[in-house]
Chains A and B, each alone.
Chain A
Amino acid sequence: MLDAAGAVADAGAEAYPRIVAALIRVTGDWTLAEDCAQEALASALERWPRDGVPGNPGGWLMTAARNRAVDVLRRASVERRRLRDLALLTDPEPPTGAEGDVVDDRLRLVFTCCHPALALEARVALTLRTVAGVPTADIARAFLVSESSMTRRITRAKTRIATAGIPYRVPTGPALVERLPGVLAVLYLLFTRGYDADGEPAFADEAIRLARLLDRLMPDQPEVAGLRALFLFQNSRRAARRDQAGDLLTLDEQDRSRWDHAAIAEGLTALARAGRGPYALQARIAAAHATAPTAADTDWAGIAGCYDELARLRPTPVVRLNRALAHGYAYGPAAGLTLISEARAGGTLDGYPPALAAEAELTARHGDPVRAAALFRTAADLVGSDPERRALLRRADELDR
């Protein structure tokens, strides 16, 4: 019984987006596609424990979903052509051998869900619901809205795809270059929603799965490989980043043997194909932490160099802040504090807890524990989540001793 349920979960995770994407392509009906894919999973849960797991679970699910769609459309007496196209849908496995210009349906689905003519929140919600198959209730919880208003939001987004004329297509040429960063930004937001202290951890896993999928489907895009590597390095620390009370631990306090070394290895493989774009640089920084045997072995000069490059590509206040911190660790707190005051010059970092925490950390290393403790307490007053607040107060208390 358990084996059959596990087989449904495994096959579903692999086949669900492929089935939804194929049904949307043929029927043009997003809701029908999702309903039929869900019903195929439900029927597998009922039948596989009884009849045994089929030889090709993904193919079985596709056939079940397709048959369901044919039934629904026949009752709605849809024109013959669409029914015929639907009948031709078989195994969801991609064609083997030379794929040439064959675009994977899932890629089409991802690019459509992440279309810039949709609001950013709608893109994230739609990607979670349609590509990853996450239940609407879980998405609603992460966005702090009721399930019914999330249902409305997703329905509105789907309707908008049809009424605004958003194509079901992967752009090519210069349009792809223009659109890919938007898709990666949605994945990044999804990952952050999962990885944040109060996040929905399943979202981080979904983001990693989607990044793997995208990387497999677009192997010649270095930033996709970079994003995949970045997610894997960050997520490899998930089990180690809290103490038993649930409080967040800094990198140098974490037990490195608890990091997920398989994920780190996969990240390094992906990183080898990444270039020096913004995500690749962030992944290189994360890799420097992930591969240091101890905190003291961290290659801070290498990290500072990556931040220098990143600050040229993306001179955001947060990047400049992290660059200052890296320089502080690599070349001494005075160097870091100078860069922090430069990063803060515009005023955008005022009241930003990580900026205060970074300044506090470097101030402590510079030999002024009293001022450092006060800065940590100010940061704690401003921070949003309880685990982060406790971690900052703990640092302040340590300095008082």
Chain B
Amino acid sequence: MRFMMFVCTDTEPDTDPDAAPDIEQWVAERDARGQRLEGSVLAPPSGATTVRVRGGELLLSDGPFAETKEVIVGFDILECADLDEAVEVARAHPMAYGGRIELRPFADLD
């Protein structure tokens, strides 16, 4: 199955960034195992533009679509057998320690 892995910050006080593993190693290992198809760090939310069309009119606004303290700072697209494998990939990511990670399977449209 394919998973979108959202990499997010976390404003809770319980983060543990000092224990976080190395990101370069994470990327190298997941790529080698074929578990990571693609991924990138994103520009900060100040660089985000939200696009809507309402009544035929294009509306642009600056900033992310949801105003929250936690922001998405990156993403990876994973190819894993199931949630358990995806969780193993996510728990080895440094942002699982210093932030939070959301795993969302691609919708099954068959």
Residues of A within 8 A of B (CB): 115, 117, 163-167, 169, 171, 175
Complex interface: chain A residues within 8 A of B81 (CB): 167
Query: Which residue on chain A has the smallest CB distance to residue B81?
Result: A167
Cα separation A166 to B3 with both chains bound (whole Å):
12
Complex interface: chain B residues within 8 A of A166 (CB): 82-84
Complex interface: chain B residues within 8 A of A167 (CB): 81-84
Query: Which residue on chain B has the smallest CB distance to residue A171?
Result: B84
Interface of chain B, main secondary structure = mixed
Closest Cβ of chain B to A10, distance in Å, is: 36
Residue among B1, B3, B83 with most chain A CB within 10 A: B83
Query: Which residue on chain A has the smallest CB distance to residue B105?
Result: A165
Interface of chain A, main secondary structure = loop
Query: Which residue on chain B has the smallest CB distance to residue A168?
Result: B82
- B11-42 CB mask vs A (1 if < 8 Å, else 0) is 00000000000000000000000000000000
Cα separation A149 to B108 with both chains bound (whole Å):
27
Closest Cβ of chain B to A120, distance in Å, is: 17
Cα separation A167 to B83 with both chains bound (whole Å):
7
Complex interface: chain A residues within 8 A of B103 (CB): 164
- Tell me if B95 is interfacial: C-beta within 8 Å of chain A: no
Contact of A117 among B3, B80, B83, B108 (CB under 8 A): B83
Complex interface: chain A residues within 8 A of B77 (CB): none
Query: Which residue on chain A has the smallest CB distance to residue B88?
Result: A175
Query: Which residues 78-110 in B have Cβ within 8 Å of A in the complex?
Result: 80-84, 86-87, 103, 105, 108
Cα separation A171 to B86 with both chains bound (whole Å):
14
Cα separation A399 to B80 with both chains bound (whole Å):
66
Check B82–A163 contact: CB distance below 8 A: no
Cα separation A163 to B3 with both chains bound (whole Å):
11
Query: Which residue on chain B has the smallest CB distance to residue A179?
Result: B84
Query: Which residue on chain A has the smallest CB distance to residue B80?
Result: A165
Complex interface: chain B residues within 8 A of A163 (CB): 105, 108
Closest Cβ of chain A to B84, distance in Å, is: 5
Cα separation A175 to B108 with both chains bound (whole Å):
27
Contact of A175 among B1, B3, B80, B84 (CB under 8 A): B84
Cα separation A167 to B108 with both chains bound (whole Å):
15
